[in-house]
A and B are shown apart, each in its own frame.
Chain A
Amino acid sequence: MTATASLLEFNDVHVHFPIRQGLFKREVGRIRAVNGVSFDIKRGQAFGLVGESGCGKSTVARAALKLEEPTSGSIRYAGEHVSLLVGPAMVKYRRKMQAVFQDPFSSLNPRQKAGQIIAEPIRVHGLKPPSQIKAEVHRLLDLCGLPTRFEGLYPHEMSGGQRQRIGIARALAMNPELIVADEAVSALDVSIQAQIITLLEDLQRELGLTYLFIGHDLSVVRHICDHVAVMYLGRIVESAPSEELFSNPTHPYTRALIDAVPNPDPAVEAGRHVEPLAGEVPSPANPPSGCVFHPRCPLATDRCRTQSPDLQTIEPNHDVACWNSPQAKATPTTAQRNLT
């Protein structure tokens, strides 16, 4: 398989949750958590998904992990339709894709020692003969930068960063191809966050992993990911390689997100006059007409209020869903103004 082959492909995926009310639990509405999302993650790529709470990014992750069935659309893994997988093929799929969650404290069993936590998937899936499990656990601990003695510790005896390393070691125990990391570094202290980011980057290089990395911190996502898609209210509004997205943001929402991130440098911040994006994210149960971003958009026109824009390719690999992308592009972000 070549380096540019697709590993995970979403094609117009919708995940809707019915809102049921009344005696007969009739469906009275739908929360369109994911509303027509398409992307293509190449083997070996770190693909980032950013957006604010309620934008559907975690539902995308759950759909990829087959924890949620799409209402419509298709998900393909290495060319195979995921929804058609059953039996042994399904088990194999689950093995190739592992998740690392945000809160390492609630995603580890508090009554198991780290050694047992990591050994369990190896044992259950019969990946190693029992005599080799201990050595494998040691190898995984070492890979995640923990000394062997950690196999005897319980989660509560570890710091947040160490627990997250155990969570990563457990994911790696399955020898996966794709890691779905949902806010995997968000709950960590600054100095520990940097350690885990570095670990994830090293592991990707060493093991040739593919990442679907979900986060809300743009600077972290940019650092880890080769390609970033921005979600708003169940849709991807912009998608581009990291360098391109951050040096050439086009969708007004992407631009507002980038402007909202303060730079850790007062000399830069002193020259920035950021007008925060007004308003809040509307409810996905009752999304606005037309472009879902129009009520908060400074560039909205009548067309935006009635017609929903599709993703358009404006540069190779750079897609934007905005009627006003040429005008949006012409106005520099404050970050860009400061660079010149």
Chain B
Amino acid sequence: MPLLAVENLAIDVERDGQTHRLVHDASFSVERGETLAIVGESGSGKSLSALAVIGLLSEGLGIAGGSITFDGRDITKLDEQAHNALRGSEISMIFQEPMTSLNPVRSIGHQITEGMRLKLGLSRRAAKARAIDLLEEVGISDPAQRLKQYPHQLSGGMRQRVMIAIALACKPSLILADEPTTALDVTIQAQILSLTSRICRDHGVGLVLITHNLGIVARYAQNVAVMYGGRIVEQATAAELYRAPMHHYTRGLLSSVPRLDIPRNVPLSPIAGAPPDPLQVVPGCRFHPRCAAATERCGQEVPAPHHHGGHQVACWHPVIERPEHAMVQA
């Protein structure tokens, strides 16, 4: 049984008296000690899916269908109090901007120990000892002194390390990380991601890594779900997805990023057009207006996700690359 199993998740928003669907039919799962990356551009619904899992959808947004099973329990029907018990202790989250997600008027020590005292029932002294251990684990020097400091006294990278320490404080089994390094410099990004993935592996924590960076996915994730316009359009292991991408959007994304390992005069092949406005209704496949392979059917019927050779792909005309050994057998 997977640690987290999301099935047919739908998220709606109430806007001007009308209901719009922002996430359709999203299904994904995460095992303990494993990293699932959810990749997509802005407005693809990747952050909303994570917020639904941790029960932090803002006012006006709501789960309209599907189920989220965490550790064997359906958590979609939990009331606020039950969700609160789960949040921080069993599921925790690392946000993009550590400056805005840390409390500027509370010391680092207070923010790390708060959850442990509330959720694990630790004494002040035990919580402080654990906070020092955690800061050490996330690579912060002189942890006892740091506990007395405030977020503005730390650099961006240090603040994100504190966020990781807070996320780990109550020994969660699942961490959701929403663009955890987008605001950081490349060398700091490498430090933070290596640290997060090592800790999750060592402690058997499942990690959902939300990102737009295909390089980060390749380096840190085992499984990938690609989202576009509120739907998961393709899902596979990272190795398989990059080896033989089947959805035209996945292929377009991969050929849009400049890479250091191919000659620099190879031109990029960008996808034409722009991602749809999440509130706008697009009939059929949401990607069809930008897709070179689109046919009449793509503009009328929504393709359902189907399995194909280790991929799950939602496309009427997926690209099927024969694996080389299959050709030899044929």
A: residues with CB less than 8 A from B are 52-53, 159-162, 189-195, 197-198, 201, 216-220, 222-223, 242-243, 246, 256-270, 272, 274, 276-278, 280-281, 335, 338-339
Contacts and interface: CB of A to CB of B under 8 A. Distances in A.
Interface stretch (B83-91, B111-119, B267-275): B267-275
Interface string B196-232: 0000000000000000111111111000000000000
A262 B193 CA distance: 11
B261 interface: yes
B218 A268 contact: yes
Contacts of A256: 187
B253 interface: yes
B260 interface: yes
A261 B186 contact: yes
B247 to A, nearest CB: 13
Contact of B187 (A198, A260, A264): A260
Interface stretch (B62-70, B235-243, B294-302): B235-243
Contact of A262 (B188, B219, B258): B219
Contact of B243 (A159, A160, A201, A267): A267
A264 B254 contact: yes
A128 B191 CA distance: 53
A222 B190 contact: no
Contacts of B220: 262
A192 B274 contact: yes
A191 B256 CA distance: 6
Given A219-B257, A223-B268, A267 B275 contact: no
Q: Which 7 A-B pairs have the closest CB atoms?
A: A194-B270, A262-B215, A194-B256, A262-B219, A223-B258, A52-B185, A189-B41
Nearest to B249: A191
A242 B264 contact: yes
Contacts of B256: 190-191, 193-194
Contacts of A53: 185
Contact of B260 (A159, A193, A218): A218
B42 to A, nearest CB: 6
Which residue of B188, B217, B254, B269 has the most chain A CB atoms within 10 A of its CB atom? B188
B264 A223 contact: yes
Contact of A281 (B42, B185, B238, B257): B185
A191 B258 contact: no
Interface in B259-313: 259-261, 264, 267-272, 274-275
B189 interface: yes
B268 A194 contact: yes
B42 A264 contact: no
A257 B243 contact: no
A260 B274 contact: no
A280 B157 contact: yes
B33 interface: no
Contacts of B238: 266
Contact of A220 (B191, B194, B258): B258
A216 B185 CA distance: 8
Contacts of B214: 190, 264
Given A261-B186, A264-B242, A194 B261 contact: no
A174 to B, nearest CB: 27
A278 B191 contact: yes
A190 B258 contact: no
B19 interface: no
Nearest to B273: A191
B96 to A, nearest CB: 13
Given A195-B270, A266-B218, A267-B242, A260 B212 contact: no
Contacts of A222: 258, 260, 264
Nearest to A296: B187
Which residue of B214, B216, B261 has the most chain A CB atoms within 10 A of its CB atom? B261
B252 interface: yes
Interface string B168-195: 0000000000000000011111110010
Given A189-B275, A191-B256, A280-B155, A260 B190 contact: yes
B229 to A, nearest CB: 12
Nearest to A220: B258
B268 A190 contact: no
Contacts of A161: 274
5 contacts: A194-B257, A194-B268, A246-B260, A265-B259, A267-B243
Contacts of B194: 274, 276
A191 B252 contact: yes
A267 B190 contact: no
Given A194-B257, A262-B216, A267-B239, 16 more contacts: A53-B185, A159-B274, A190-B253, A191-B275, A194-B268, A195-B270, A217-B186, A260-B189, A263-B259, A264-B217, A264-B242, A266-B238, A267-B243, A269-B218, A269-B219, A280-B188
